[in-house]
Structure 1
């Protein structure tokens, strides 16, 4: 499957783990990549207090925490419609 989304995260972040589980529950296994912001200076500067953040590679849109499953699903649907 094509990686269409990114999850900006960091090691030991329980909220990031919840967000990743939401992506799996949304049926996106294999369609997202987890990026540890500690390994990317620009991402660290931009998202260090905002993670977890889901980003769409195509539209460059982001969804930052807090969000629930319904909000994630609505955001994902919007990204699919815009492609």
Structure 2
């Protein structure tokens, strides 16, 4: 649990017990757990959204590259041939 030792955790729990009382601690723990779950879910949703955006950007770049190659091929085929003997 990070850098917290057993004594630090016990001290924190004792302070919480003194501040809120034994009756409110379960409700506080339940609320904290629910908040952490929602935070983790929101974090995961944001991460998935970012990954989807990155994938979309990669697909766009790939499509641009293919279109540029096709345009170049088409332009090369359509270039008029210059007759160098007519001068």
Q: Which structure: larger Rg?
A: 2
| Greater helix fraction, Structure 1 or Structure 2 | 2
| Greater strand fraction, Structure 1 or Structure 2 | 1
- Give the TM-score taking structure 1 as reference length: 0.25
- Give the TM-score taking structure 2 as reference length: 0.25
